[in-house]
Amino acid sequence: MPVLMTGYFFNMNNEHGRVVTAATDGACSGNPGPGGWGALIRFEDGAVEEFGGFETKTTNNRMELKAALTVLEKLEHLERIPNLKIRTDSKYLINGFETWVKGWKKKGWKTANGKKVLNQDLWEALDKSRLDNVGLEYVKGHSGDQDNERVDNIAVSFSKNISITLQCASRKKNEN
């Protein structure tokens, strides 16, 4: 049974300005096994919204896709900077979303080898959730990127059932 944790989401009054960046990650303890995903959205005023989820039996790739899908669904209702990038360390997500899905659809959701596309349900949902001027950007995992490290921590915590505090509409510490 999927579990989703998130703080109060503040998209109605736009008090934090536009979204300036987003990041996603997935994790799995065993593959397949218990998995988690983490994501965050940053706003112009420094506010951050973090969220994540858990599934008992899944794969790392499914968790990567679920994180991106959740961010796209939230971004649909928020004002964004032009050409917003969702940062991810998943080349599977980037290649699938930007290239492979077009061919899969033309081939009736079959791969180049004629096999059924894995995670078709999530790929179809991602394809339907595409937003104009929102793309994906690769960031090397575990390379010190602050947002990538944070969403990795969220995803791993959820996958291992470790308690984690998620930020909700908090501002940078150096702001008044």
DSSP 3-state percent helix, strand, coil across the chain (nearest 5):
30, 30, 40
Quick one: pLDDT at residue 15? Answer: 83
pTM of the model: 0.89
Q: Give the count of domains, the chain.
A: 1
Which of 49, 55, 64, 147 is labelled catalytic?
64
Is residue 76 within 8 A of residue 131, CB to CB? The reply is: yes
**Is 127 one of the catalytic residues?**
no
Q: In this predicted structure, what is the pLDDT of residue 11?
A: 40
The C-alpha atoms of residue 111 and residue 136 are separated, in whole angstroms, by 22
Instruction: Tell me whether residue 152 is one of the annotated catalytic residues.
Output: yes
The string of pLDDT tens digits covering residues 116-163 is 999 999 999 999 999 999 999 999 998 999 999 999 999 999 999 999
The pLDDT value given to residue 42: 96
Peptide bond into 34 cis (omega under 30): no
Residue 68 lies in a domain: yes
- SS3 assignment for 81-95: CCCEEEEECCHHHHH
Please tell me the predicted confidence (pLDDT) of residue 123. 98
CATH number of the domain where residue 64 is located: 3.30.420.10
Query: What does R_g of the chain's alpha carbons equal in angstroms?
Result: 16
Token digits of residue 140? 């090397």
pLDDT, position 1: 43
In a domain, 67, yes or no: yes
Asked if 18 and 11 touch (Cβ cutoff 8 Å), the reply is no
Annotated catalytic residue: which of 36, 89, 96, 147?
89
List, for the chain, all residue ranges whose pLDDT scores fall below the cut of 70.
1-14, 169-176
Q: What is the pLDDT of residue 171?
A: 52
Residue 110 is assigned to a structural domain of this protein: no
Cβ atoms within 10 A of the Cβ of 142, count?
A: 9
Residue 156 lies in a domain: yes
**Residue 170: what pLDDT?**
52
25 as an active site residue: the answer is yes
Q: Is 38 a catalytic residue?
A: no
Are the CB atoms for 87 and 137 separated by under 8 Å?
Answer: yes
**Which residues span the domain enclosing 55?**
3-89+132-170
Predicted local confidence at residue 140, as pLDDT = 95
Distance CA(33)–CA(56), nearest Å, equals 7
Instruction: Give the per-residue pLDDT at 7.
Output: 43
Based on the residue annotation, tell me whether 77 is a catalytic residue of this protein. Answer: no
Q: Which amino acid is at 23?
A: A
Phi and psi torsions of 161, nearest 5°: 60, 40
